Amino acid sequence: MDSTATAEENMDYGEESEEKTFKKKKDKGKKAAKVKKSQEQTMKKEETEPSSVDAAPSTAFPPTFSVSEIKNKQRRHLMFMKLKQEKRKLRLEIRKKRKKEREALGDKAPPKEVPKTIENQRIYDETTVIPEDEEVAFDEGTDEFSAYFNRLTNPKVLITTSDRPKTRTIQFCDQLATVIPDAHVYYRRGLALKRIVPQCVSRGFTYLMVINEDRKVPNGMVLCHLPDGPTAHFKISNVRLRKEMKRRGKEPTEHSPEVILNNFTTRLGHSIGRLFAALFPHDPQFVGRQVATFHNQRDFIFFRFHRYIFKNEKKVGIQELGPRFTLKLRSLQKGTFDSKFGEYEWVHKRHEMDTSRRKFHL
Amino acid sequence: MVSKSQDCSIWLGSETGILKGVSLTKKQAFNFCEMSSLSRDQEVCVLTWGDPQESEVLVGCANGTVKTFSTEKGIFTESRECADHLQGKFTGLAVTDSALITCVESGLLKVWKEGSTDTVEINAGSGVCRMRQNKSQRSRVATGGKENPLKVWDLDRPDKPIFTAKNVKNDWLDLRVPIWVKDMAFIPDSDKIVTCTGHHQVRLYDPCTPQRRPVLEVEFGEYPLTALALAASQDSVVVGNTQGQLAVLDLRKGLVRGCLKGLAGGVRGLECHPTLPLVASCGLDRFLRVHSLDDRKLQHKVYLKSRLNCVLLSSSSLEYGGEDLSGDVEEVKQERDSEEDEVWDAMETVTEKTKRHANEEPEVGNTEAEAKKKRKVAKK
């Protein structure tokens, strides 16, 4: 269907060009001879065009010819459309042929080729964590989160914002506090983060989460693990609050949710994954049937919050509870928040690092 | 284990307490420790060569022990307690002909003479960030740290520093400029000392002149500089900061010559090769990177799995080196290298000639009889 439609378009276009040429002739008036000549030329063109359309599938262009060499814009356009059409036809033909072959072969048909995506063409990252690696295991076993993973501490999170937050950010913080158990939202009151950190430590908080806003929209998040780091800085985008979501479930319950961390494969990714994991209590309460998901895809971390239900032995239903947002890591700093004198473990440097679309860091 | 350690030309100390050796020829990295007995308090803080032949590496751990690693045998041969871990981590380690010099964060600088139990103690003031030795006059060391200005000590006269830097003048608001010396280096064949600070300044001091303030001050970036290394060509210095920005600075006019790219995290250790234009950097991003100072391109990049604290380069050429362990062998090695170079040069000229022949001969053939040409073509 598509191919025929384009053909029609082409025809229309041809007619238009003819009209234009006629108009020109009218302007020129009585110079009949010239008009005749031009008419002849146009006629010739008209003759050549359909013929080329007919001939196109067999012999379109000489091999070194490119459409961009045509100097007439209209003609170039026409030829380009033709070229495109041809290619599409060819592709369809091949597809049909392949389908027939597959049908003919039946069960013996070779397995379908996996389409190339940016993810599966990813440039190999040498920091990808191999689970058997003793050294990495030791490094992770003794890092700042080891107290949580050894079940020595329970998470307690303080959520605050940049100074003078607007409605949307306040709502966002409130909703985050319903997702994360034992989270406390505090008004910032113009306090410096470096002075908040020791107070949080003395009151037994394990996380300080600061939502930054710009033009009434939350756009950044600082997630600082206490008492001794690390601190991650994220960009937040696409925040959707609960009331903006379609088909959302009822308000979440106070049960501690299950946590799903997807695709955190590299060493840096592991650190970030552990950072998120340590936000939630150790043992999820399965009665609540709530799941918080951090899904990493192409270095963007998508957060979703769902409630699930087993409808029968095979079917599962899920219902999104919200909020949803996307995070992108800007930097990971060793130690608690100190943007001036802190040592950075990883900083995203756009022009140095983003040289390939297939290179990912998490 | 033996052959492994002999191949290595770069040594690194990690935060997990592992001594790592990297062989760039074989593109391999080795861990020299037992994986079962790892612990964080063995964190390697400083590394230095134990002898001029580079057959021993001294490893200063965070728990106050100095271990001796033999590159010939590939094992730790000796271990001794040199500091109390309450006084902080090691900030510097050096050897003279008969003594070992250690310095810890609290500012206690100790000289451990061989064969005798008594030590010379110097109090360099609190908050020492780094202690470095003058490579040409090995009894001289420099210290400096947070609110602790640069001091140069002569270990033969340990009572008083022979040079104490004076803080720079107050700024334009007439406020005192804070002191935070992070790293320093002696410029060979002169008394000059270059330091880098936590307030992103690089300063050049000249103890020969009566002026105790820096003779040159350069600012680089806006993050604390953490490491510094003098390039083989003496008029430039390489500095690195906490965000992983590396720059080559010119010490004559104080200009940035260029930046070395590719780092992702803060720099902890930086060292230049004594003769070749190469600089090795390591840090929190767990990579060892070797840059060329000529074109500032990244030459090698090795992932070493732990955060790295310090790096040590052997003085042999990194690509071929490692096998040479004593001075004699090294010389021989160098000769061989030059011979190889000659061989390569000769080969290149030969290939050029043949190429030229290949191009020219047919042209010659055109002018002459065609039969000849055919013959030649057939020959080919």
Domains of chain A, by residue range, sit at: 2-106, 134-353
pLDDT at B320: 54
Q: What residues of A are in contact with residue B224 (Cβ under 8 Å)?
A: 340-341
**Residue A35 touches partner B, C-beta closer than 8 Å:** no
Q: Å from A39 to nearest chain B CA?
A: 55
Residues B212, B166: Cα–Cα separation, whole Å: 5
Q: Do A345 and B31 touch (CB under 8 A)?
A: no
Q: Which A residues in the span 115-144 are in contact with B, Cβ-Cβ below 8 Å?
A: 126-127, 133-136, 138-139, 142
pLDDT band at A156 (very low <50, low <70, confident <90, very high): very high
Q: A142 vs B242: CB contact, 8 Å cut-off?
A: no
B284/A345 Cβ within 8 A:
yes
Mutation site for B-interface testing, chosen from A345, A353, A354 by largest number of B Cβ within 10 Å = A345
Alpha-carbon span B230 to B248, nearest angstrom: 9
The HSE-up count of residue A86 (CA atoms within 13 Å, CB side) is: 16
Any bridge partners for residue B230, and if so which? B237
pLDDT at residue A254 above 70? yes
**Between chains, do A139 and B226 touch, taking CB under 8 Å as contact?**
no
Q: Does B265 contact A345 at a Cβ distance shorter than 8 Å?
A: yes
CA dist., res. A159 & res. A149, Å (int): 22
CB of A337 closer than 8 Å to CB of A209: no
Separation between Cα atoms, residue B109 and residue B102, nearest integer Å: 6
**Using a CB-CB distance cutoff of 8 angstroms, which residues of chain A are in contact with residue B38?**
135, 138
CA proximity to A232, closest of A326, A317, A143, A345: A345
pLDDT at B27: 84
Say what percent of chain A tops pLDDT 90: 64
Record the tokens describing residue A219, joined without a space. Answer: 């756009």
Tell me whether the omega of the peptide bond preceding residue B149 falls within 30 degrees of 0, making it cis.
Answer: no
Interface test with B, best of A129, A134, A343 (most B CBs within 10 A): A343
Residues in chain B closer than 8 A to A135 (CB atoms): 16, 18, 31, 35, 38, 305-306
The conformation of residue B35, written as its DSSP 8-state character, comes to G
| B-interface mutation test, from A130, A132, A138, most B Cβ less than 10 A away | A138
Q: Which of B224, B243, B286 sits opposite A347 (nearest CB)?
A: B243
Q: Does the beta-carbon distance from B242 to A136 stay under 8 Å? A: no
Instruction: Of A104-113, A175-184, B316-325, give the range with the top mean pLDDT.
Output: A175-184
Comparing CB atoms, the residue among B198, B244, B303 nearest residue A127 is B303
Are A346 and B16 inside 8 Å of each other by CB? no
Q: Please tell me the predicted confidence (pLDDT) of residue A44.
A: 47
Distance from CA of B342 to the nearest CA of A (A): 37
Q: What does the block give as tokens for B140?
A: 């001289």
Cα separation, A348 vs A322, in Å, equals: 29
pLDDT at A46: 46
- For A191, the token pair is 């306090």
Q: Are B144 and B128 in contact (CB under 8 A)?
A: yes
Give me the pLDDT at residue B271, please.
92
Question: Does the beta carbon of A233 lie under 8 angstroms from any beta carbon of chain B?
Answer: no
Are A275 and A225 contacting, i.e. CB atoms less than 8 angstroms apart? Answer: yes
Mean pLDDT of chain A: 84
Locate B343 and state its tokens. 């061989």
Q: Could you give the 3-state DSSP secondary structure of residue B39?
A: coil
For B197, which residue in chain A has the nearest alpha carbon?
Answer: A341
Phi, psi (deg, nearest 5) at residue B378: -60, -40
ipTM of model = 0.79
Minimum-distance CB partner of B266 among A135, A139, A343:
A343
> How far is the C-alpha of B297 from the C-alpha of A36, rounded, in Å?
68
The DSSP 8-state label assigned to residue B308 in this structure reads: E
Residue entry with tokens 């003919």: A104
CB pairs under 8 A between A and B: 62
Residues of B in contact with A345 (CB under 8 A): 265-266, 284-285, 307
Q: Which residue has the tokens 């027939």?
A: A100
- Closest by CA position to A208, among listed A218, A198, A216: A198
Q: Which residues of A touch B20 (CB under 8 A)?
A: none
What SS3 state is found at B166? coil
Structural element, H or E, at residue B339: helix B327-367
Instruction: Of A35, A121, A14, give the one whose Cα is nearest residue A77.
Output: A14
Residue type, B138: R
- Please state the rounded mean pLDDT for residues A299-313: 94
Distance of CA B196 to the CA centre of its chain: 15
Do B242 and A353 lie within an 8 Å CB cutoff? no
Provide the pLDDT for residue A2. 43
Q: Where residue A345 falls among pLDDT bands split at 50, 70, 90? A: very high
Residue A8 has pLDDT above 70, yes or no: no
For residue A115, give the DSSP letter: P
Smallest Cα distance from A283 to chain B, Å: 28
Give the residue on A whose Cα is nearest the Cα of B30.
A135
Q: Collect the ranges in chain B with pLDDT lower than 70.
A: 1-2, 318-380
The C-alpha of A343 sits at a distance from chain B's nearest C-alpha, in angstroms, of: 5
Which amino acid, B16?
T
Report the helix count and the strand count for chain A, using DSSP H and E.
9, 11
B354: buried, middle or exposed (CB in 10 Å: 19+, 13-18, 0-12)? exposed
Check CB contact under 8 Å for B242 and A344. yes
More confident residue, A65 or A182: A182
Separation in Å, CA of A128 to nearest CA in chain B: 10
pLDDT at res. A25: 44
DSSP 8-state symbol, B183: E
In chain B, which residues have their Cβ closer than 8 Å to the Cβ of A347?
A: 243-244, 264-265
**Element (H or E) spanning B250, and its range?**
strand B246-250
Residue of B nearest to A125 (CA): B303
Using the Cβ of A352 and the Cβ atoms of chain B, whether some distance falls under 8 Å is answered with yes
The whole-number average pLDDT for the span A36-61 is 48
Q: What is the pLDDT of residue B7?
A: 80
Decide if A359 touches B, using CB distance below 8 A: no
* CB within 8 Å: B243 and A344: yes
**Residue range A297-313: mean pLDDT, rounded:** 94
Helical axes A267-277 vs A134-141, angle rounded to 10°? 30
Range among A18-27, A72-81, A110-119, B361-370 with highest mean pLDDT value: A72-81
Task: Indicate the residue of B39, B244, B306 with minimum beta-carbon distance to A347.
Answer: B244
Do residues B158 and B140 touch, judged by C-beta distance below 8 A?
A: no
Confidence band, pLDDT 50/70/90 cuts, at residue A207: very high
What's the CATH number of domain A134-353, 2.40.50.460, 2.60.120.260, 3.40.50.10480, 3.40.640.10?
A: 3.40.50.10480
- Tell which residue, A250, A255, A201, A257, has the closest CA to residue A228: A201
Shortest distance, CA B197 to any CA of chain A (angstroms): 11
Instruction: Please give the structure tokens belonging to residue A145.
Output: 């989160």
Helices (H) and strands (E) in chain B, counts: 3, 28
Q: Which residue of A has its CA nearest to B198?
A: A341
* Residue A127 to residue B264, Cβ atoms within 8 A: no
B101 bridge partner residues: B94, B111
Q: What confidence score (pLDDT) does residue B5 get?
A: 77
* A283 near B CB under 8 A: no
Q: Decide: B280 and B314 in contact? Cβ < 8 Å.
A: no
Contacts of A142 in chain B (CB under 8 A): 16, 39-40
A309 — contact with chain B (CB < 8 Å)? no
Which range, of A70-84, A295-309, B4-18, B194-208, averages the lowest pLDDT?
B4-18
* φ, ψ for residue A4, nearest 5 deg: -65, -40
3 state SS of B58: strand
Per-residue model confidence (pLDDT) at position B137: 87
From chain A, the residues in CB contact with B262 under 8 A are 352
- List, edge to edge, every strand of the sheet that includes B65-70: B44-49, B56-61, B65-70, B75-81
Does the distance separating the beta carbons of B286 and A344 come in below 8 Å?
no
Q: Above 70 in pLDDT, residue A19? A: no
- Kindly state whether A267 is in contact with chain B, defined as any CB-CB distance less than 8 angstroms: yes
Side chain identity, residue A347: V
Distance between CA atoms of A46 and B138, rounded to whole angstroms? 93
Model confidence band, residue A92 (pLDDT cutoffs 50, 70, 90) = very high
CA separation for the pair A58, A94 (Å, rounded): 16
B285's CB contacts (< 8 A; 6+ apart) are A345, A346, B244, B263, B264, B265, B266
